[in-house]
Chains A and B, each alone.
Chain A
Amino acid sequence: MNMDSTQPITWRRYGPSGLIFTFSDHAGEKVFERLHSVAETIENSPPPDLVDYFRGYTTLTLEFSEPSAAHLESLAVELANAWNARPPLESESRLIEIPVRYDGPDLPRVAQHAGLSVKEVCSIHLSANYRVHMIGFCPGFPYLHGLDPRLNTPRLDTPRTLVSAGSVAIGGEQTGIYPVNRPGGWNIIGHTLEKLFHPDLARGGNPEKAFLLRAGDLIRFVPAR
C-alpha cells in the first residue's frame, strides 16, 4: 500500500461534545475526493448521538448530543477506513451552469492586480470548471476550488457592510457566490440571477431542495444573456 494513502488522521476535541478530524495538511482536488467519501459515510450511517456535522477543506467536525469521548475509538477507525478505501468520487458529479454578468465594482481592481485587461479576467474566470468543496459560512454559500491562480486577489482591506445576494466574487485564491445579503470582504466581479438558496423550500421535509448546490458539484460560469 502506498504511504500516501495511509496518512494518519488526527482528531482534536472541540468543546465538551465536538470532535474535529483532520485528514490532510493541505487542500486540493485529491484530498477533496477522499474527504467527500468520508462525509458520505457519515451521511449514510451517522454515528449515535450525532447532532450536526460540518465539512472543511481538510476536516470534518462532528457535534454530539453527549460528551464526545464515548465512541471515539471506533469512530476514528471507521473514518480512517473510509479515508483509506478511497472510492472514486461518484461518477455523476452534477455539472451546473451559472449565468453571470461581469459587472462587479471590483473587476478593475482584480484586473489591475493580475496585470490583465478586464476582458481577459472575465474570459479566464469563464474558462474553468469549479468544484464545490463545501457549503458553509451562510446558507448555501459554495466554497469553489479551481480558480486560475492569475486571478488570486487579496480581500478588501475594509469589508463592505452589504454584499447583495447573487454577487460573484473572488477572495484570495477562492471564488464564490453570495447566496444571501451579507457583509463581506471579497472582490465583487459580477452577479447572477440564479437563486442559490430558496427559503420557501426550507419548510418541507426535504431540506436539500432549498439549496441549488451541494458539495461535490461541478460548476461552470457562462455569460448571462
Chain B
Amino acid sequence: MSPPLKPVLRVLSPGLGLTIQDRGRPGFGRFGVPRSGAMDPHAFTWANRLLDNSPNAPSLELLLQGALLEVLSDAWITVCGADLACSVPRWRTVRVKTGSHIEFSQNKSGIWAYLAIEGGFGNPAEHYFGSHSTYADAGLGKRFEPGDLLHGLGGPEPRLELPPSVASRLVPWDEHRDYRFPPPLRVWPGPQWELFSERDRSRFFENDWTTTSRSDRTGYRLSGPTLKSGVTQILSEAVLPGSIQIPGVGQPIVTMNDGPTVGGYPKLGLVEPADLSWLAQARPGTKVRFTLAH
C-alpha cells in the first residue's frame, strides 16, 4: 500500500507558470512525445541533492515571478535556480513551518527556479510514461491554479536529519550560477552542418546572439546575423532538445524540452546537453556565444 497523499503546499498564486518537473520521459520519441523535464537540470539536481532525494524526485518549476504558496505541513525544502526574490534563501535547505508563505515576488536573474521537498512532489495518478513532468499541452498533468493542493510523495515523517550543530546544508559557492553571464556554450555540428556555407558557420561562432522573449519550454528564439542554409525545408526527421534549427528567416530556434520531436528545418548544430541549462536560464536580452565542441 502506498502511503496516503499528503498535501504539503497550497497554491495561492501560480505566478507566470508553475508545473511539476523531474528528469523527463525520454524513450517515447517514436510516438511524438517530447521528453519534457526540468529546463535547468543543474539547479534541479542541486535542489534534490541537498535533501538526499532521489536524483529524479519531482520538484516544482517556477517561471519568472509571482508565485505565492502556503505551507500546509512543516517540511524541509530547497529553492535553487533563478533569483525570483524568494522569501526563503536559495541554494540551501530551509525548514518551513505550517501556515507560513513562500513568495517569489520579483524576477532578478534567470528564468526557472526549482522548489524541492523531501521525497518530491507529485501525484501517482499523474504519472505518465514513467514521469511526473507536466506537459499540459497534451494533457499530461496541468498548469497549477490558485487553490490547487500540491502533494508530497514522501512518507509522513521528515527524513532529513542534520547533526544538532548544523542548521542547514548549502550548495558550494562555485556551483551558484550568475545567469546574466553564461559562458560560451559548446555546440556539436548538426545533421545539416554541411548545408551551411563556411562563412555562415563562422558567423554563427564569431557573433553574439541575443535571447528573445519569443521563448518558452518548446524553444528559444535567438536574434543576430542572418544565416542561410540554401534550403528552407528538409524531409522531416528527428529534432533532439538543444538542436539549433535555422528556418527560412535565418534566425536560430533552439529546441527545448517540450519542443516537437520531428521537424523540417535544417539543423546547424546541437548545444552540448551539459551547457543547455545555461541557455534555458538566459533571460530575453542576454548575450550568448557559441564555441565548437570537440
Do A54 and B27 have beta carbons less than 8 Å apart?
Answer: no
Chain B 229-255: CB-based contact to A (< 8 A → 1; otherwise 0) = 000000111101010000000000000
Identify the stretch in B2-10, B79-87, B99-107, B134-142 within 8 Å (CB) of chain A at 4 or more residues: B134-142
How many CB-defined contacts (below 8 Å) exist between A and B? 128
Do A135 and B30 have beta carbons less than 8 Å apart?
Answer: yes
The CA of A143 and the CA of B140, in the complex, are separated in Å by 22
Please give the distance in Å from B237's CB to the nearest CB on chain A: 3
Q: Closest A residue to B137 by CB, please name it.
A: A180
Please give the number of chain B residues whose Cβ is less than 8 angstroms from any Cβ of chain A in the complex.
36
The residues of B that contact A52 with a CB separation of less than 8 Å are: 26-30, 35
Q: A20-B237, A56-B236, A61-B237 are in contact. Are A202 and B128 (CB under 8 A)?
A: yes
Do B236 and A143 have beta carbons less than 8 Å apart?
Answer: yes
Identify the stretch in B42-50, B89-97, B183-191 within 8 Å (CB) of chain A at 4 or more residues: B183-191
The CA of A137 and the CA of B270, in the complex, are separated in Å by 18
Do A54 and B261 have beta carbons less than 8 Å apart?
Answer: yes
The residues of A that contact B238 with a CB separation of less than 8 Å are: 14, 20, 54-56, 59, 61, 136
Please give the distance in Å from A46's CB to the nearest CB on chain B: 10
The CA of A208 and the CA of B28, in the complex, are separated in Å by 10
Of the candidates B139, B188, B189, B261, which one forms a contact with A136 in the assembled complex, judged by CB atoms under 8 Å apart? B261
Please give the distance in Å from B239's CB to the nearest CB on chain A: 8
Please give the distance in Å from A14's CB to the nearest CB on chain B: 5
Please give the distance in Å from A34's CB to the nearest CB on chain B: 15
The residues of A that contact B240 with a CB separation of less than 8 Å are: 14-15, 18, 61, 63
The CA of A39 and the CA of B139, in the complex, are separated in Å by 28
B17-54 contacts to A, CB under 8 A, are 26-35
Chain B 171-195: CB-based contact to A (< 8 A → 1; otherwise 0) = 0000000000000000011110000
Which residues of B are interface residues toward A (Cβ below 8 A)?
Answer: 26-35, 125, 127-129, 137-140, 188-191, 235-238, 240, 242, 260-263, 270, 272-273, 293
- Pairs A–B under 8 Å by Cβ, sample size 30: A14-B191, A14-B238, A15-B270, A17-B273, A20-B238, A39-B30, A51-B27, A52-B35, A54-B237, A54-B238, A57-B235, A59-B237, A59-B238, A61-B29, A61-B237, A63-B26, A134-B236, A135-B32, A136-B30, A136-B238, A137-B260, A138-B32, A138-B34, A179-B32, A180-B138, A180-B139, A181-B137, A207-B31, A208-B31, A211-B31
